[in-house]
Amino acid sequence: MDLSFFSMGMWSIGAGALGAAALALLLANTDVFLSKSQKATLEYLEDIDLKTLGKEPRTFKAKELWEKNGAVIMAVRRPGCFLCREEAADLSSLKPKLDELGVPLYAVVKEQIRTEVQDFQPYFKGEIFLDEKKKFYGPQRRKMMFMGFIRLGVWYNFFRARNGGFSGNLEGEGFILGGVFVVGSGKQGILLEHREKEFGDKVNPVSVLEAARKIQPQTLAMETK
């Protein structure tokens, strides 16, 4: 056997494998394989059934949240996720300014596991509701699976949140991606729709506040007609 020929063959196989791995890593860090989002319509959001989390749960249509004064709504990917807690804290930092505008801050979760929502509450300064059918995560539900753990952006988000002092756990479903909505009062429409494209892809708080300032309370909207 010609050992040099054998060595060259093995080297070629190894180089090919490394090239394929490098290409896969490169593609994983582009948006090529990301789930494509579909924008929600106001009619779609209005018809979503939500449930209160008190001792006597009440089911109601989501439009109640923004009908009079509009609303900022966070669709939480997983309450125990430290990245979600970081985003919740960012949104909660806007609460004083939102209160001045008369715009409420809400969150929806897709499941209620043990004390997960209760443990999330210190990070989020608004009322939280249950979206059992996961409608706020649609119309086209998107997932990020284990590919997320080889994305450089995700690792950057991990370190950012850790350095910010946030911690969490692994309880619950965390692959269905969340988002943030700013919805105007009545039929004013969706003023901002941020869809999480990867783990820790936070909404820009400045954009949230800018959208909230465009909300016309229902009484004012009626007066200007």
Rounded to a whole number of angstroms, the distance between the first and last alpha carbons of the chain is 90
Q: Residue 98: its pLDDT value, please?
A: 98
Out of 71, 83, 84, 211, which one is annotated catalytic?
84
The CA distance from 13 to 103, in Å, is 61
- Report residue 149 CA to chain centroid gap: 17
**The CATH number of the domain covering residues in 42-223:** 3.40.30.10
Q: Residue 48: its pLDDT value, please?
A: 98
Tens-level pLDDT at each residue, the chain (225 residues): 444 544 544 445 544 554 444 444 444 455 555 567 789 999 999 999 999 998 899 999 999 999 999 999 999 999 999 999 999 999 999 999 999 999 999 999 999 999 999 999 999 999 999 999 999 998 988 888 777 677 888 899 999 999 999 999 999 999 999 999 999 999 999 999 999 988 999 999 999 999 999 999 876 555 554
β-strands 59-61, 127-130: how paired? unpaired
* CB 120, CB 128: distance < 8 Å: yes
Is 81 catalytic? The answer is yes
Helices (H) and strands (E) in the chain, counts: 8, 7
Residue closest to 197 by CA, chosen among 26, 37, 45, 28? 37
Out of 45, 81, 91, 203, which one is annotated catalytic?
81
The model's pTM: 0.83
Q: Residue 216: its pLDDT value, please?
A: 93
